[in-house]
Amino acid sequence: MRLSRLSRTMLGAVAGLILVLVYVPLLVVLVNSFSTSTSLSWPPPGFTLEWWRRAFASAGAMEAVQTSVVVALISTAIALVLGTLISFALQRFDFFGRQTVNLLVILPIALPGIITGIALNNFFRTIMGIPLSIWTVVIAHATFCIVTVFNNVIARLRRTGTKLEEASADLGAGVWTTFRLVTFPQLRSALLAGGLLAFALSFDEIIVTTFTAGSGVTTLPIFILNNMFRPSQAPIVAVIAVVLVLVSIIPIYLAQRLSGDEQQRR
């Protein structure tokens, strides 16, 4: 596309401004995690690793990390199994209401978290009579984690078709052997990409978590929220925020590289 010099400069400036607005605050958090000032005053009067040491020594913070990792891992695992199964059902079989089911599967990611949160809270406590716990959080997270797995897997299934499975069956492989040796290897990178995204989504989720977590279940985002306005804890919160950003960014970066590689190979 040809653009005039002026519009190119303007576009560049706007894009730069947006990136600055998005990333400078994050950078400030990173710098603050090393600041000697407890009130996060700017510019930082000095630098120290004290907060990082304290954060790693804080039992509450470490427990929150552990809870978040457990929740993210289990809901991702559930999403991988269910998301893959739904993808197969919707891609390989034609049945009444297929389009509707497709929409219903994707919907949870578009629904406002607060609606999902209230609905699930209500459902668990009043209808099912289940006390809120870490498992209710896992189930709640799985509802939207399924979507990322589903989207990745169904796109892959659409592209690969059934030719390879036919070839495998033709050569004498039964259904399970075909899945293990042909279908699964074809899906592997799609599952990895979908799983990493699901993990990242779950790891920093706060709204649905607030409504579905039992007392004493503190994920990392909830820990931050609880401690943010305690002046003495502010730098530790900054440290945890940095960790949270890193843990969320790495899977997304990997997932993107994976799908990028796929596209380049074709």
Partner 1 sequence: MTDQQPAIRLTGLTKEFGAVTAVDHVDLEIGAGEFFSMLGPSGSGKTTVLRLIAGFEQPTDGTIELFGDDVTRRAPFDRDVNTVFQDYALFPHMNVLDNVAYGLRVRGIGKAERNERARRALASVRLEQMADRKPAQLSGGQRQRVALARATVVQPKVLLLDEPLGALDLKLREQMQVELKQIQRDLGITFIFVTHDQEEALTLSDRVAVFNNGRIEQLGTPAELYERPASRFVADFVGTSNLFDDRVSQALLGRGGVHSVRPEKMTVGAGETGAGIRNAPGTVAETIYLGSGIRLVVDLDAGVRVSVLEQNDRNRTHDEDRGDRVVVSWHDDDVIALGGADAAAPAPAA
What's the alpha-carbon Rg for the chain, to the nearest Å?
23
CB of 66 to partner 1, least distance (A): 36
CB of 191 to partner 1, least distance (A): 14
DSSP letter string over 101-148? HHHHHHHHHHS-HHHHHHHHHHIIIIII-PPP-HHHHHHHHHHHHHHH
Closest to partner 1 by CB, 7 or 177: 177
CB of 253 to partner 1, least distance (A): 24
Closest to partner 1 by CB, 95 or 229: 95
CB of 8 to partner 1, least distance (A): 38
CB of 160 to partner 1, least distance (A): 9
Residue located via tokens 């219903």: 104
CB of 151 to partner 1, least distance (A): 22
Closest to partner 1 by CB, 65 or 182: 182
Q: CA 185, CA 163: separation in Å to the nearest integer?
A: 15
CB of 262 to partner 1, least distance (A): 11
DSSP letter string over 200-252? HHHHT--HHHHHHPPTT---HHHHHHHHTT-GGGHHHHHHHHHHHHHHHHHHH
Closest to partner 1 by CB, 19 or 181: 181
Q: CA 209, CA 118: separation in Å to the nearest integer?
A: 10
Closest to partner 1 by CB, 168 or 209: 168
Closest to partner 1 by CB, 104 or 181: 181
Residue 177 three-state SS: helix
**Both tokens assigned to 175:** 């259904």
- Dihedral angle over CA of 167, 173, 179, 180, nearest 10: -120
Q: How many CB atoms lie within 10 A of CB 217?
A: 19
State the DSSP H helix or E strand holding residue 9, giving kind and residue range, or none if neither: helix 5-32
Closest to partner 1 by CB, 166 or 261: 166
What DSSP character marks residue 172? Answer: T
Closest to partner 1 by CB, 96 or 229: 96
CB of 259 to partner 1, least distance (A): 17
Which residues are bridge partners to 35 per DSSP? 47
37: CB partners within 8 A, 6+ apart: 44, 45, 46, 235
Q: Residue numbers of the site for partner 1 (CB under 8 A)?
A: 163-164, 166-174, 177, 181-182, 185-186, 265
